[in-house]
Amino acid sequence: MANQPFSVLDRPNSYIGKSVPRPNARRLLEGRGRFADDLNLPRMLHTAFLRSPFAHARIIKIDAEKAKAAPGVILIADGKDVATHCKPWEGTLAHFPGMKSPLQFPLPLERACWQGEPVLAIAAESRAQAEDAIDLVEIEWEELPVLADSETALDPDTPLIHPELGDNQTFNLMLENGTVDQTFADAERIIEKTFHFGRHTAVTVEPRSLIADFDDSEGRLTVYYSSQSPYQMQDVFSRHLNITEDKVHVICEDIGGSFGMKLHVYGEDLTTCALSIMTGRPVKFTADRFESFVSDIHHRDHRVHAKMAVSNQGKIQAMEIDDLTGIGPYSVYPRTSAVEGNQVVRLTGGSYQFTDYRAKLNVVFQNKNVMCQYRAVGHPIACSVTEGMVDFAAAELGIDPVEMRRRNLIKDDQYPYTSPTGLIFEKLSHHQSLEKVLEMMDYDALRAEQAKLREQGIHRGIGLATFIEITNPGPAFYGLGGARISAQDGCMMKLEPSGKIFCSVSVTEQGQGTETVMAQIAASELGMPLDDVRMLTGDTEKTPYGGATWGSRGVGIGGEAVLRAARALRNNLLEVAGAVLQCSADQLDIQNSQVIDKNTGTERLSVAEIGRIAYFRSDTLPQDFHPQLTVARHYVPQGPPFAFTNGIQASYLELDQETGFFKLLKHWAVEDCGTQINPRLVEEQIRGGVVQGLGAALYEECLYDEQGQFLNPTLADYLVPMAAEIPDIQVGHVVTPTAYSELGAKGAGEAGTAGAAAAVMNALNDALRPFKTELTRMPFTPERILRALGKV
């Protein structure tokens, strides 16, 4: 890189650090989005599913005769029919020792294990006809014992959901570091609490949707898919439908929200592909809202017992947690349902200096919808438990929560640091972030205001929550365990004859701004205006192979691939320019689409002229000179298995002790994701993440009765945060780039969700403190608050 006068971070006209608007947002604003359900193919059929009304029941007999004769019906398929075209799967990973889960078929062969599980599919000329025909199918069921309460899953007299596995446990784990028992035995104070985290679900505004189009003449399957993980799904479709990978084409255009929900394997989706194979026609499936609630993966659902040892001086000495989480009847394929619990036990306490730590994890089956990874996997649980305990300890000792954190957070000069569970923190900024948020919120003034209002009977609370976030995951996450989910990404870039750039990359766009950020990196490194770079993502045939979008990896991994491709293409362009200008390429650079003399800045040649000469007048170039105007580069994440980020959030709220409602007055978030390519997009990731986290604290819970019936699977009953209840969210930044990459960027997708609920919990308990009561069960509904206050 001797000929690199500038790094990409400080090239002239660099877009790095500029909040440019997203070019691809225009068509969404004009109603010209291309979501999967917007597309209709010739001869296309529509499918509808019959779903189990019971949480656990054997299928005795299916009578579909009337349905077969219904108008428009083309095909009816049950579990056995689909199984002839699609192999079952098992949601385990080799690096989770002892993990077990039964084989899962797209539609069950003999019994349904959760209410809402799809058991039969009908393909018809229209969705309405398919749904009409579903109503004509009669199934004789034999109800089986239901395991709804995960607390009883491991009791000896609880019936087994899968007797062949021997118990109701899919995975367990024990972690221990230091001398935990001794430290607790010697402790001056021990704080003990139990936390509950409701089961909730993604509620993307766009439901899951796909069109499967199997072309029998070539044996090719094309899937138009609302998915954030096209390459993983190409592999899954290939292996489970027995089609070679080269003949599976997955296309993900606009995705109406995903947040980790749209990258798991769903029975309906594989069934839709199988129906296309069986009928030889394209088949569409779009979930309705009820179907989304009962079949999109759920997440969280944890009960955590926590214990903390502290000295009278407020020094945290040890922590011990016991996490029980229920995941439904199957571990979800191919990422498994053990990852969230695994992250809870590894992340808890991770911001603090103590070393004595013990964690127990039990992941158990239940007869409820399946549970799996969703935005900020495990983080909100780990954060809420840790930060809740820190505040409870501070309150018991009479120490201000800020002071408690100052005394215990890992110091900013203590890095690199290895956590008690072996996590490696390259460099974090807990103290700097804490001071920043205190300044933003004017903490002392807020405390004074709180005290003054309390005298008037107005109860406000202030809550802080420090967090760490896993980003830029390497192959340790899935590849190591045998899942064919890539941790590397690739970028392909070509010069168009006009002098514009076409760039395709294997990280995908769901509205977070991936394409914009990638174009900013490409344009900066190339020396071209942003408008000259055209991006393509989400197409397995037209982009390099990669990991796509999950785990806050887009910029940190995909961005580095783009940077390298852009550098390679620029060097190739300068080689052509050197040949044309009869000078060394080393003397040249590109600025604003013009080749310039590096020393004088004089414009010598336009990039468009390079395109014209190289493509159409190669006769004017030296003999045997072959301009390389298309390049591809891949990038493998470097350094520790993950790039950790950190941050802190704060909540200010007012409690109405008469009604049990509380109003969020303001929310602050400081995050440190390293280099920010587009600060506005980072802020919007944080804000959106915060509000998803607030949903968990305020409203969201999938309520099941003891028979495993989902009681609130509508948007009228399952509440989500709406504009009127949500406060303005002020975002601040601390910037600690990672030294393991050129851009220094870490992820930012989960930070908001990681800490929001914990900040609200601490603020609520701060407001409740004069009443000598507290809440540790989310969501914090008015009923729970009134119960805590002894009013109901």
Partner 1 sequence: MTEKLYPLTFTLNGSTITRHVTSRLSLADFLRTEMNLTGTHVGCEHGVCGACTIRVEGRLSRSCLMFAIQVEGMTVETVEGLNASGELHSLQEAFHELNALQCGFCTPGILITAAQLLQETPLPSRKQIRDYLSGNYCRCTGYHAIVDAVEQASQKQAERR
In the complex, the residues that contact partner 1 under the rule CB under 8 A are 21-22, 25-26, 28-33, 35, 37-38, 40, 71, 128, 202-207, 254-257, 259, 288-289, 510-513, 680-681, 684, 687-692, 714-716, 720-726, 728-729, 752
C-alpha span between 280 and 717 (Å, rounded): 40
Give 475 or 727: the residue with its C-beta nearer to partner 1. Answer: 727
Give 24 or 150: the residue with its C-beta nearer to partner 1. Answer: 24
The minimum distance between CB 684 and partner 1, in angstroms, equals: 5
Q: Given CA atoms 56, 58, 61, 67 in this order, what sign does their dihedral have?
A: positive
The 3-state DSSP composition of the chain as helix, strand, coil percent (nearest 5) reads 30, 25, 40
The minimum distance between CB 268 and partner 1, in angstroms, equals: 17
Give 175 or 720: the residue with its C-beta nearer to partner 1. Answer: 720
Q: Cα separations (Å) of 76 from 40, 213, 215, 271, 274?
A: 21, 18, 20, 11, 12
Contact by Cβ (8 Å): 4, 11: no
Q: What 3-state class would DSSP assign to 81?
A: helix
The minimum distance between CB 286 and partner 1, in angstroms, equals: 8
359 - beta bridge partners? 175, 321
C-alpha span between 670 and 650 (Å, rounded): 9
C-alpha span between 754 and 475 (Å, rounded): 23
Q: Which residue from 353, 374, 436 is spatially nearest to 650, judged by alpha carbons?
A: 436
The minimum distance between CB 374 and partner 1, in angstroms, equals: 12
Give 27 or 617: the residue with its C-beta nearer to partner 1. Answer: 27
The minimum distance between CB 533 and partner 1, in angstroms, equals: 18
Give 25 or 632: the residue with its C-beta nearer to partner 1. Answer: 25
Q: Residue for token digits 């920043």?
A: 436
Q: Which residue from 273, 194, 265 is spatially nearest to 776, judged by alpha carbons?
A: 194
768 - beta bridge partners? none
C-alpha span between 106 and 374 (Å, rounded): 21
The minimum distance between CB 290 and partner 1, in angstroms, equals: 9
The minimum distance between CB 604 and partner 1, in angstroms, equals: 36
C-alpha span between 574 and 605 (Å, rounded): 10
Give 35 or 502: the residue with its C-beta nearer to partner 1. Answer: 35
Give 517 or 561: the residue with its C-beta nearer to partner 1. Answer: 517
Give 71 or 219: the residue with its C-beta nearer to partner 1. Answer: 71
Contact by Cβ (8 Å): 631, 562: no
Give 9 or 720: the residue with its C-beta nearer to partner 1. Answer: 720
Cα within 13 Å of Cα(619), Cβ side? 2
Give 288 or 586: the residue with its C-beta nearer to partner 1. Answer: 288
211 - beta bridge partners? 224, 284
Quick one: tokens of 655?
């409690």
The minimum distance between CB 224 and partner 1, in angstroms, equals: 13
Contact by Cβ (8 Å): 203, 262: no
Give 731 or 768: the residue with its C-beta nearer to partner 1. Answer: 731
The minimum distance between CB 510 and partner 1, in angstroms, equals: 6
C-alpha span between 550 and 546 (Å, rounded): 11
C-alpha span between 138 and 759 (Å, rounded): 50
Give 202 or 316: the residue with its C-beta nearer to partner 1. Answer: 202
Give 364 or 677: the residue with its C-beta nearer to partner 1. Answer: 677
Residue 394's H or E segment, with its range, is helix 379-397
The minimum distance between CB 127 and partner 1, in angstroms, equals: 9
Q: Which residue from 242, 307, 317, 319 is spatially nearest to 273, judged by alpha carbons?
A: 242
Contact by Cβ (8 Å): 727, 664: yes
The minimum distance between CB 378 and partner 1, in angstroms, equals: 20
Q: How many CB atoms lie within 10 A of CB 638?
A: 14
The minimum distance between CB 31 and partner 1, in angstroms, equals: 2
The minimum distance between CB 18 and partner 1, in angstroms, equals: 13
C-alpha span between 426 and 417 (Å, rounded): 7
Q: Residue for token digits 């968990």?
A: 696
Buried (b) or exposed (e) across 507-523, using 16+ Cβ within 10 A? Answer: bbbbbbbbbbbbbbbbb
Q: Cα separations (Å) of 521 from 107, 288, 511, 518?
A: 44, 39, 18, 5
Q: Which residues contact 181 (CB under 8 A, 6 or more apart)?
A: none
Give 612 or 666: the residue with its C-beta nearer to partner 1. Answer: 666
C-alpha span between 170 and 364 (Å, rounded): 6
Give 26 or 80: the residue with its C-beta nearer to partner 1. Answer: 26
Give 23 or 53: the residue with its C-beta nearer to partner 1. Answer: 23
C-alpha span between 527 and 573 (Å, rounded): 11
Q: Which residues contact 523 (CB under 8 A, 6 or more apart)?
A: 15, 501, 529, 530, 532, 533
The minimum distance between CB 715 and partner 1, in angstroms, equals: 4
The minimum distance between CB 719 and partner 1, in angstroms, equals: 10
The minimum distance between CB 40 and partner 1, in angstroms, equals: 7
Contact by Cβ (8 Å): 640, 426: yes
C-alpha span between 773 and 760 (Å, rounded): 16
Quick one: tokens of 110?
């003999």
C-alpha span between 488 and 558 (Å, rounded): 8
The minimum distance between CB 716 and partner 1, in angstroms, equals: 6
Give 534 or 666: the residue with its C-beta nearer to partner 1. Answer: 666
